[in-house]
Structure 1
């Protein structure tokens, strides 16, 4: 599965302010930024990102995924410094 397809699925499914998807067709890294993550546990944040991708994980289009989710404030404070394109 192409990283651009994954990005489009996430954008169309979730209210994300920013999303970065990298990796190859089977090992994907996702960084998602949104106000929807405020007050959520880290587990709930990851479950939110997993949800629209589950059918692709289940059918092995995505073999492995790493997720980092940030609120807008977290991203502005330190997330941007951790992420390098």
Structure 2
């Protein structure tokens, strides 16, 4: 099993400027939600943004440490427009 901190680190390794929040949705540690805010997402579709995050956690998904990952991705500007702190 992979820890929430390990998932956060995996994402930040691929997206160094990312603000990442990881939540365990079921208490079992394998159904997670990730909120990722990164300037790397600028000009990219949601599909591409999600692919970037999935690429970052591919090894944990391949060995089924993560069974499901719900994603919410934002550019810093979109995050602020959503009323979230900078």
Q: Same fold per TM (> 0.5)? A: yes
CA–CA distance in structure 2, aligned partners of residues 56 and 65 of structure 1? 11
Residue 48 of structure 1 is matched in structure 2 by: 52
TM-score (norm 1): 0.86
Ranges in structure 1 where 5+ consecutive residues have no aligned partner: none
Deviation at 1:13, TM superposition (A): 2.1
Does the C-alpha gap of structure 1 residues 9 and 73 become closer, same or farther in structure 2, counting only changes over 3 Å?
Answer: same
SS of aligned partner of 2:13: helix
SS of aligned partner of 2:11: helix
Output the aligned Cα RMSD: 1.5
Ranges in structure 2 where 5+ consecutive residues have no aligned partner: none
Deviates more, 1:12-21 or 1:70-79: 12-21
Paired residues, number: 81
CA–CA distance in structure 1, aligned partners of residues 83 and 65 of structure 2? 28
Does the 8 Å contact 2:36/2:72 carry over to 1? yes
Runs of 4+ in 1 over 4 A off after TM superposition: none
Matches within 5 A, 1:29-68: 29-68=33-72
TM-score (norm 2): 0.85
> Quick check: which one's helix share is greater?
1
SS of aligned partner of 2:33: strand
